[in-house]
Amino acid sequence: MTAEDFLVDLEGEVRVHPALHHPFLLRFAEGGLGRFQLWAFGLQHYQLVRLFTAYLEALLASVPDQVVRDWIHRVLEDEFARPDVYHRSHPALYRRFLLALGLEARDWDAVAPLPETRAFTTRHLELTSLRHHLVGLGAVGPGHEWSIPVMFISLVKGLRGSGIAEDALEYFSLHIAQDLEHARLLRAALARSADDPADQARILEGARASLDARARFWDGLYRVVFEECRGGAVPAR
């Protein structure tokens, strides 16, 4: 299979993966979420947001191709939003969202990750730092940048339908637009190594592992947001 044929097939597999059409996303998109439901979602999702740059930095250390390293570095620069690192970095924008929900720094620093949240971050640190670099590239490319715009459309719809102000949603709306460019860069990066069957297998491994971990993360959020927080119960903080 040529590199282009492989990537086209992989794009098709990503589009239909359950992580992109999870019951959590479908129900969340309906809106009408209460304060504690929004807190539970926001605090758990932040644990993923705050570590994404660590995956990219770990991957940079293992990629031998300087061209690919430059492209990953461009994605990393966007995450940090240099030169105004602190105020415009993606984690900083997400913290603005948490503040808009009525949360404080002590809440997001003290939150207990769900088992599915912890499994997601641990798995991605492994994929990007301990495995072949193409496994890691499959995780952050198809697993993240190709899939996040689709998933975030559902999140934004549900947050708007729950009364969250538009300026608090910049983290999400930015990713819907910006990750399309990141997906293009990382697709080009994969294309440089996707003509060998062994390398194709590595890319597939990383992409599938990432998306499967994401689906399990949504499983955990569904349980907490739509079952444990029902009736006004306060989520674990």
| Dihedral sign, Cα of residue 44, residue 111, residue 87, residue 34 | positive
Q: What is the dihedral of CA 69, 70, 75, 77, to 10 degrees?
A: 120
* Mean pLDDT calculated for residue range 39-54: 93
Number of neighbouring beta carbons within 10 Å of residue 181: 13
pTM, entire model: 0.91
Instruction: Using only the alpha carbons of the chain, give its radius of gyration.
Output: 18
Lowest mean pLDDT among 15-19, 24-28, 127-131, 225-229: 225-229
In one-letter notation, the amino acid at residue 57 is: E
Consecutive H or E run containing 48: helix 35-49
Q: Tell me the pLDDT tens digit for each residue of 73-110.
A: 887 776 664 444 444 577 888 999 999 999 998 998 88
Structure confidence at residue 88 (pLDDT): 57
Does the structure show a pLDDT above 50 at 237? no
Structure confidence at residue 218 (pLDDT): 98
Q: Tell me the pLDDT tens digit for each residue of 138-191.
A: 999 999 888 988 999 999 999 999 999 999 999 998 877 665 677 788 888 899
Helix (H, G, I), strand (E, B) or coil at 83: coil
What stretches of 16-165 show up as alpha helix (H) in DSSP?
Answer: 23-28, 35-49, 52-60, 66-80, 85-88, 90-100, 105-110, 115-129, 133-140, 148-160
Structure confidence at residue 78 (pLDDT): 66
Do 100 and 221 touch, CB atoms closer than 8 A? no
**For 79-219, where are the E strands, in sequence order?**
none
**Taking all residues of the chain, what is their mean pLDDT, rounded to a whole number?**
89
Structure confidence at residue 230 (pLDDT): 60
The CATH number corresponding to 3-228 among 3.90.1150.10, 1.20.910.10, 1.10.3720.10, 3.40.1190.20 equals 1.20.910.10
